Structures are given as C-alpha cells and as structure tokens.
A and B are shown apart, each in its own frame.
Chain A
Amino acid sequence: MHSVEMILFEQLAKDRHRQLEREAEADRLARAARAGARRHDGKVGADTSRGGKHYPREDAFREFWRGFVVTLPLWIGILPFGVAYAMAARGAGLSAAETIGMSLLVYAGTSQLVATELLASEAGALSIVLATLLINARLLPLAASLAGSLGRLPASTRGLLAFTLSDPSYAVSVERVARCVAGWAFLAGSGVSLYTGWQLGTLAGLAIGSAIADVTALGLELVFPLSFLSLLAPYVRSRSGALAALVAGGLALVARLVVPGTAYLVIGIVGGSLAGALVERRR
C-alpha cells in the first residue's frame, strides 16, 4: 500500500480496526441470536449469509452511519489539506466555482494540488489529465482488492460506491467490507464522511484565501512544492520508494534544463516509477 493519506492516518485506522473487530464480533453474536429467535418463531428471517439483495435494510443504514461517524476523526487530516488546496487553486488563478467544482467532481487531493500547480505553469490540458491519471492510478489496486467482496452488489451500487473511494476510506473500511454482509454500507458511510470533510476544507480555504488580499504576494507558489514534500515523505521511507523519488527528481531536473515544455514531468515520472518497480523486483 503506497498512499499518503493512509500512512498519515495509519494509527487512527489501526485503533478503529481494533474497535471494529470487537463491534463486529458483538454484531455477529447479536445477529445469530436474532436469527435463532426467528427460527423458533417459525418465520423466514433474512438470510444474511447469502448476501446480495437479501441483507436487512436497517443493517445497511446502521452500517452507513457507523462508517460515517468512525471516519470523523480523519477530518483533522483532510480539512487542512482541503484548505491548502483551495488557497493554492485560487493562487493559480482558478475561480471560486472552479475550485469547488474540482473538489466536487475529482475528489482526489494530491492530484488536485498537482493540477493547480500545472495550471499555474500553463501546462496543457492533456498533460494535466495525464498527470491526474498517473497519480490516481494508485486507486486501481484498492478498488480491485474490494471487487471480490462487493461483487454481489448491483452494478449501480458499485458505481456509486466507487465515487467516494479514497485511501483513508479504504483503510478504515476494508476489513469491515470483507467481514460483514452490509460492510459495503460502512464503506459508503466512510467515503461520504471524508467527501464531506474535503468539501468543507475547500470552502474554508476559499474563505481564508479571500481574506488575504493578494495571495500571490506572499511567496505562496512555494505552497505547492512544500505540500508535495510532505506528501512525499511517507513514500521515501522504503528503499524502493526513495529510489523512485530520486530518479524521478533527478531526471525531471535535467530534462527541465534541456527539454522544452512540460515533457520533463513525463520523463521523470516514467523513469522514477520504473526504477522503483525494478528495484522492488530485485529484492
């Protein structure tokens, strides 16, 4: 797992897991007791073990709410990140509507910060979308690892669930999804919670940004590289991650000096990720 937010929230997530394990156990016992009671009544209870459409509706609502609440502490991490993004976006010349629109539609912090930086340096639309794809490709394996547990849900539900999938919501929910039939609702609640926090952070950043008269006069273009450094820190703790960053940074710097345009980004990114992958294979 290589994701910034995940590492930031790792400890919190671990605590949550422990708490959830206990809750899930209690849950299972309670459900078994209910099922037993129903059987004695001679009624046909909802067979939760088969999943699909047969989960009790109230379970799903409860799970959703539980996921929402359990994820609330992570707002501490997501709010300032949203504030930084919104201030950077305004500094890069995005309108307030565009700043909010990107948060609502894209909802992926690192790639949003990178995109605003690229917009500020007048990069083309294609290279911005490509950079977004490269950064968020890390979500592919997350989604893929959930596919097995969520496969029984209707496609429309899976499509909606995907919209709010993020590293922290995955981290908090993955065990629940694998363990409980209604775990998907927990994942949804966690995702919606973080999504809400991200939007509120964005709004707060807009408010703060407009309170400061001239954002560009404060050397705020440094907000980008400084934010990126803090997002980079968790990755470089592994040897292969550090090598990927070193190769990418070195190649990008050299290419920046000799190649016109933003090609230096593609050169650095491709070289760096291949270097990381090759070293990992060696080990």
Chain B
Amino acid sequence: MSDWVIIVGMAVVTYATRALPLLSRWKVSHPLAKRALCYAPPAVLAALVTPSLLAPGGAVEIGPKLWAGMLGAAVAWRTANLPLTVTIGLGLFGIMHWLGLG
C-alpha cells in the first residue's frame, strides 16, 4: 500500500512540474536556481550510478560490476542507446560470473 502512496506522490510532483508554468504565473526566478535545475538530471543519474557500481555494498569494491559498468559507459558514450548499453553490460557481467570471476 505504501508503494501506492509513493506512486501518487510522484504523480503529483511530476504533474506539478508540467502544469504549474501553464496554469499559473509562478516561475523559478533566481537565475542560479534556474540553471541548477537544468543540471539536476545528470547530477541525479551520476549520483545513483557511481556508488552502485563502485560501492554496491557500502564499501569500495573493484569487481565485475565495475567492469560491466565501464564497458557500459563506453557503449553509452558511443551510442547513447539504452537497450544496447544494458545488453552489453549485462553480457560482460554474465560472462565474468560464468567464468567464476564474480
């Protein structure tokens, strides 16, 4: 049930970002804040990725997840293709796991 509370909360804030500028005169006015908002998506993504590849258990861990992530980063850089990045990264992880490296 609490998952639904989260989903509805997400829906409300997301709709607000879409609708507020269309329905009201409210605006993010401070220029620095306005620009900072533009950088929120890369910041969020990087803040999620780095610990989950480098320190998945809460301590720094150099392992197959990091190698899979680095290969994934290279594919992402070249193609920005989501399914391809996921497939190749998972593939390397699977191979390393299968070889007993993970």
Chain A residues numbered 163-184 whose CB sits less than 8 Å from any CB in chain B:
163, 165
Q: Is residue A146 contacting chain B, with contact meaning CB distance below 8 A?
A: yes
Could you tell me how many residues of chain B have their Cβ less than 8 Å away from some Cβ of chain A? 71
Contact with B along A218-240 (1 / 0, CB 8 A): 11111111111111111110001
CB neighbours (8 Å) of B69 from chain A are 222, 225-226, 229
Complex Cα–Cα for A230 and B37 (A)? 20
A278 vs B96: C-alpha distance when bound (angstroms): 41
- Determine which of A137, A244, A264, A274 lies in contact with B42 in the assembled complex, contact meaning CB atoms within 8 Å: A244
Q: A136 in the interface, Cβ–Cβ < 8 Å?
A: yes
Q: Which residues of B contact A265 (CB under 8 A)?
A: 44, 47-48
A44 within 8 Å of B (CB atoms): no
B18 to chain A, nearest CB (A): 4
Closest to B74 in A: A229
With A228-B49, A233-B76 as given contacts, are A248 and B44 in contact (CB-CB < 8 Å)? yes
B42 to chain A, nearest CB (A): 4
Q: Is the CB of A138 within 8 A of B43?
A: no
* Chain B minimum-CB-distance residue to A246: B46
What chain B residues lie within 8 Å of A278 (beta carbons)?
Answer: 32
The prevalent SS among residues of A at the interface is: helix
The answer, yes or no, to whether A119 is at the interface (CB within 8 Å) is: yes
- Nearest CB in chain A to that of B51: its residue: A256
Once A139-B18, A219-B90, A224-B52 are accepted as A-B contacts, the answer to whether A232 and B76 lie under 8 Å apart by CB is yes
Q: Is the CB of A84 within 8 A of B40?
A: no
Taking CB atoms, residues of chain A closer than 8 Å to B52 are: 117, 221, 224-225
Our pick among A94, A141, A158, A269 for the contact of B38 (Cβ within 8 Å) is A141
The answer to the question of A98 belonging to the interface, with a C-beta cut-off of 8 Å to chain B, is yes
B21 touches A281 (CB 8 A): no
- Nearest chain A CB to B25's CB is how many angstroms away? 9
Task: Check: B19 CB closer than 8 A to any chain A CB.
Answer: yes
B81 to chain A, nearest CB (A): 6
Q: Could you name 6 residue pairs across A and B whose Cβ atoms are closer than 8 Å? A: A138-B40, A222-B68, A223-B90, A229-B73, A231-B41, A252-B50
